[in-house]
Amino acid sequence: MSGERRPRVVIVGAGFGGLACARALHGAPVEVVLVDRHNYHVFTPLLYQVATALLEPAEVAQPVRQLLQKLPGVDFRLGDVTGVDLDARVVQSDRGPLAYDHLVLAAGAVNDYFGNREIAKRSLGLGTLSESLALRNAVLERFEQAAWTEDPVQRRRLLTFAVVGGGPTGVEFAGAFAELVHEALARDYPHLDLDRVEIVLVEGSSAPLSTFAPKLQRASQRALEGKGVRVLSGAKASAIDEQGLRLDDGRTIGAATVAWAAGVRAASLADGLELEQGSHARLKVLPTLQVPGRPEVLVVGDMAAIPQAHGRPESLPMLAQVAIQSGRHAGEAIAASLHGRSPQDFRYRDLGTMATQGRNAAVAQIGPLKLSGMLGWLAWLLVHIVALGGLRTRLLVLINWAAAYLLTERPVRLITGTTERPDEQEA
Ligand SMILES: Cc1cc2nc3c(=O)[nH]c(=O)nc-3n(C[C@H](O)[C@H](O)[C@H](O)COP(=O)(O)OP(=O)(O)OC[C@H]3O[C@@H](n4cnc5c(N)ncnc54)[C@H](O)[C@@H]3O)c2cc1C
């Protein structure tokens, strides 16, 4: 191929899917350009530990350019992709256009507020690094405000926290937040009666962690309640106003802070492409991950509604492993197409799911194996430390986890910057 222009593969998104795709293209005779609006890759499963003052941003995020040092053929461009001209095969961004021969869309997901702008404005999400930092700042700020107020009603409101969404993200945040409050913050605020802090987890279905086996749901709820979290199931958030969080059954939780973990939808880039969208606004793809009628465009990870094998109606779940495996498959499919091979269907290998409720408590569902309590927690620790990138990060995270476990310490109790919802995620 020497002397010929190499085909250019543009990958939008340096998350789990985009990076896996770039790695799979390593060594292939293509020019790879990876574009992301951030110059870092985020390990989302530990974002809630940033929001609960246990980990620093650098322990859950790594510079993309550092990750790409091992992939010299991949060029990184910092930029916000604003659209794609599918006919002209050009990606449009805030920093300029980029032509492609093959396009891989891996822009992930954003919080879903189900069209409720007021909720979007008044709640704090956990989906990005800036959101998690804003949530950390906001909850710490509430304790400082409570220290100033003499009014018991106002103090109660400041020290009531609602977490909406009983999926893994909401459950993990609620459990870790309860530990932050009743351990580190209880020592920081000896004049506030932190036994009166209310943490309410609101879940629309009959129990938190509804995708887990019933016995794991019960174990998870028990563990949360043991840490002082009140679980309200079967109720949906309908509004947030000055009084707090309104539920569709007429109840109001008088919370000054509402953390939103009630669902996600495909990144807004998916909306502007005039391609067919499925559940959670994800782009519909063929089993090969190609967009129907556009074989040069593949979609992976949270942005794609990937059909399940054996004709099951629902698409694959929005999980890191789905993103990694589909990203890898897309890279391999593009590399194979250069040799004239036709694309294969993507087959997802389910490695299981897990969620922790804090120290000594996690549930894990790995094939027929169902773990809870201490065993689940040890499995959770192992999987997450192995999945984290880089020796330095692993060591730092392990030190922080050990300090949290042995000394009930959460070292990042710093109010730095905004307590407002960052507007990088569109409602
Ligand atoms: C708080 C939280 C906790 C989670 N915990 C777990 C867990 O424990 N286990 C699990 O399996 N899954 C978990 N998930 C889900 C998991 O993170 C996603 O399934 C996975 O990240 C999807 O990978 P992706 O590559 O599709 O998108 P992402 O990893 O989200 O990456 C998308 C990338 O695209 C970039 N991007 C978006 N739009 C644009 C644009 N217009 N222009 C340029 N760049 C753009 C973003 O900056 C981002 O870097 C969690 C998610 C969250 C939010």
223: number of CA atoms within 13 Å, CB side? 28
Q: Which amino acid is at 187?
A: R
Looking at 56, 118, 150, 172, which residue is catalytic?
172
CA-93 nearest atom, ligand 1: 42
Give the mean model confidence (pLDDT) for residues 371-384: 95
Q: Specify the residue with its C-alpha closest to ligand 1, atom 1.
A: 127
Residues 53, 136: contact at Cβ < 8 Å? Answer: yes
pLDDT in tens, 336-352: 999 999 999 999 999 99
Q: Is the CB of 267 under 6 A from ligand 1?
A: yes
pLDDT for the residue 424:
56
Q: Is the CB of 126 under 6 A from ligand 1?
A: yes
**Which mutation among 44, 105, 133, 363 tests ligand 1's pocket best, with the greatest number of atoms within 8 A of CB?**
44
Q: Which amino acid is at 41?
A: H
Mean pLDDT of the chain: 95
Give the mean model confidence (pLDDT) for residues 141-149: 97
Fold for domain 117-262?
A: FAD/NAD(P)-binding domain (3.50.50)
Report the distance separating Cα 121 and Cα 86, nearest Å. 33
Q: Is the CB of 127 under 6 A from ligand 1?
A: yes
Q: Do domains 8-37+79-111+265-337 and 117-262 have the same CATH topology?
A: yes
CA-82 nearest atom, ligand 1: 41
288 alpha carbon to ligand 1 midpoint, in Å?
21
108 alpha carbon to ligand 1 midpoint, in Å?
5
pLDDT for the residue 1:
45
For the chain, domain boundaries: 8-37+79-111+265-337, 117-262
CA-128 nearest atom, ligand 1: 53
Residue 420 has pLDDT above 80, yes or no: no
More confident residue, 217 or 309: 217
Strand order in the sheet with 237-241: 237-241, 244-247, 252-253
Residue 426 has pLDDT above 50, yes or no: no
**Which mutation among 319, 350, 354 tests ligand 1's pocket best, with the greatest number of atoms within 8 A of CB?**
319
Q: Specify the residue with its C-alpha closest to ligand 1, atom 8.
A: 45
Q: What is the DSSP string of 27-39?
A: TSSSEEEEEESSS
pLDDT for the residue 389:
82
417 alpha carbon to ligand 1 midpoint, in Å?
23
73: number of CA atoms within 13 Å, CB side? 17
CATH assignment, 8-37+79-111+265-337: 3.50.50.60
- Structural Rg of the chain based on CA atoms: 22
**Of 229, 111, 234, 89, which Cα lies nearest the Cα of 172?**
229
Report the distance separating Cα 50 and Cα 58, nearest Å. 10
pLDDT for the residue 312:
80
- To the query of whether residue 172 is one of the catalytic residues in this protein, the response is yes
Give the mean model confidence (pLDDT) for residues 277-282: 96
CA-18 nearest atom, ligand 1: 25
Residue 318 has pLDDT above 90, yes or no: yes
Torsion, Cα 112 114 115 119, to 10 degrees, reads -80
Q: Is the CB of 350 under 6 A from ligand 1?
A: no
**pLDDT-derived band at 423, boundaries 50, 70, 90:** low
Q: Which amino acid is at 81?
A: V
pLDDT in tens, 17-58: 999 999 999 999 999 999 999 999 999 999 999 999 999 999
Report the distance separating Cα 97 and Cα 115, nearest Å. 31
Please name the residue ranges forming H helices in 39-100: 47-51, 57-60, 64-67
Residue 360 has pLDDT above 80, yes or no: yes
16 alpha carbon to ligand 1 midpoint, in Å?
7
**pLDDT-derived band at 311, boundaries 50, 70, 90:** confident
Please name the residue ranges forming H helices in 99-213: 117-122, 129-148, 152-158, 168-179, 186-188
**pLDDT-derived band at 427, boundaries 50, 70, 90:** very low
